Amino acid sequence: MKPELLLPAGNLEKLEYAVKYGADAVYFGVVDFSLRSMRKGELITFDNLKKAVDLAHDLKAKAYMTLNIFAFNNDIENLEKSIDIIKDANPDAIILSDFGILRTVRKYMPHMPVHISTQANTLNYEAVKFWQDNGAKRVILARELPIADVAKIKEKVPDIELEVFVHGSQCVSFSGRCLLSDYMTGNERKANQGNCAQPCRWSYKLVEETRPGEYFEINQNERGSHILSPKDLCLVEHLQKLVDAGVSSFKIEGRTKSLYYVSAVAKTYRNAIDEVLKNPDADLSKYFEELKKVGNRGYTQGFYLGGNTSQSYSYDVSKGLAGADFLCEFWEKAEDGFFKVKIKNKILLDEEVEIITPDEQFLTRVVAIKDKNGLECELANTNDELFIKFSKNPIDYRCALARTPGVLYINKKCKAN
């Protein structure tokens, strides 16, 4: 069976781009019921939930709604008030981890497919059988499982769908069940209520209790030491192992990531999956090189190959570093071969750039830049909205993006560990 490629949809624009760049399905949450707090774009709320589901369906993709918070009494009450909206939107499945939310969904939407979130820490086949007995169609396995254990679960429970994360940020805590954010923000930013402050990405120093105010570096790094920060997961070179293990869905993390990240990662995994299905022995290393062009804290295979070690942590990198800069987003086709674009990072006249679309990827050159008044420029600055002419244009400019070519700089820990 062909595995599903599942991408995050942090807003409606990212939903569209994710599907057009290759996703078979998308997952998204709404405020108060999701483990991610969205900030930009046309956010998905109860007001436009049906619009989001319909958009995915119009693009021939499935839409999964996340209700995977750990719920308090008021959360259950608020969910009950919103049930009719969810019914009307009719997503293809609900992703959840809380027993109370499961009972509520079963009570009001008995025929709604249920996917059990990775937050449920499912590690063994008996747990999968338990969820199956309680009506689950799919279980999203914990990221702490080696592939051999995934295969054994499928062997023991062959008639259930298994989903695994294959790419993106990882939590320092077991399957994301972390209390660090709650504790270190005075209980103001609860990780499992969708508002994690990511203290695992913070820089830490050492202090000896009899010497208050004297801070010591934990290692030789002027920025301190990111002792809790895991590298990002990347399993693109190991997709055949997951296919052989019986995985039904390959999941990408990143509902708060950029439009460029969602598009580029979707395109890369779409091509990699298609190639490995045609040739199980295909060399997928070129796709790993492609993924260096998107933000990452260094890559690791985590627990999946059984080799999770201290090398799986990024001790000197807090934020993801991309090997290529996202330069612009295409908006409209204008006169005389120009395109109206939104600049994300500065572009120079005569600069070589790489354009990617759902169907193309090629190098071209900036041959002219004009501002809104039609005046020629030699520089387009970040956040400008202006007009650019390229030496070669995409066949279909809709959803086209431009970035710097090649891998300009590499996170020194970006190799696979």
Residues 6 or more apart in contact with residue 176 via CB below 8 angstroms: 35, 118, 119, 191, 192
Per-residue model confidence (pLDDT) at position 89:
98
User: Which top CATH class is 326-403?
Assistant: mainly beta
Write down the domain spans for the chain.
4-175+229-312, 326-403
Residue 140 φ/ψ, nearest 5 degrees = -90, 105
What pLDDT does 333 receive?
Answer: 96
Write down the pLDDT at residue 184.
65
Whether residue 205 has pLDDT greater than 90: no
In this predicted model, what pLDDT tens digit does every residue of 67-87 receive, in sequence order?
988 899 999 999 999 999 999
Q: Are 365 and 350 in contact (CB under 8 A)?
A: yes
Tell me the C-alpha distance between 12 and 243, whole Å: 30
Task: Give pLDDT, residue 262.
Answer: 97
Closest CA to 328 of 289, 381, 251, 266: 381
Q: Flag whether pLDDT at 304 surpasses 60.
A: yes
Q: What is the mean pLDDT of residues 390-406?
A: 96
Q: What is the pTM of this model?
A: 0.86
| Strand 379-380 versus strand 338-343 pairing type | unpaired
Q: Right CATH number for 4-175+229-312 from 3.50.40.10, 3.20.20.70, 1.10.10.10, 3.40.47.10?
A: 3.20.20.70
The model's pLDDT over 312-343, given as tens digits with 9 standing for 90+, comes to 555 555 566 778 999 999 999 999 999 999 99
Identical topology for domains 4-175+229-312 and 326-403: no
Q: What are phi and psi of 296, to 5 degrees?
A: -160, 160
Question: Which residues, at least 6 apart from 56, have a Cβ–Cβ distance to it below 8 Å?
Answer: 9, 15, 19, 25, 26, 62, 63
Helix, strand counts (H, E) of the chain: 10, 21
Cα–Cα distance for residue pair 306/290, rounded to 1 Å: 25
Q: How many CA atoms lie within 13 A of 62 on its CB side?
A: 13
Q: Which residues contact residue 2 at a Cβ distance below 8 angstroms, ignoring those fewer than 6 apart?
A: 277
Contact 346, 380 (CB under 8 A): yes
Q: Which two tokens stand for residue 279?
A: 């040739």
Please tell me the least confidently modeled range out of 144-148, 159-163, 389-393.
Answer: 144-148
Average pLDDT, the chain: 87
Amino acid at 337: G
Question: How does residue 414 score in pLDDT terms, banded at 50, 70 and 90?
Answer: very low
Q: What is the pLDDT of residues 108-151, one digit of tens each?
A: 999 999 999 998 999 999 999 999 999 999 999 998 899 999 99
DSSP string, 342-367: EESS-EETT-EEEEE-SS-EEEEEEE
Mean local confidence (pLDDT), 46-52: 96
From the CB of residue 204, how many other CB atoms can be counted at a distance below 10 Å? 15
Q: Measured between alpha carbons, how far is 112 from 236 in angstroms, rounded to an integer?
A: 31
Band of the pLDDT at 1, cuts 50, 70, 90?
A: confident
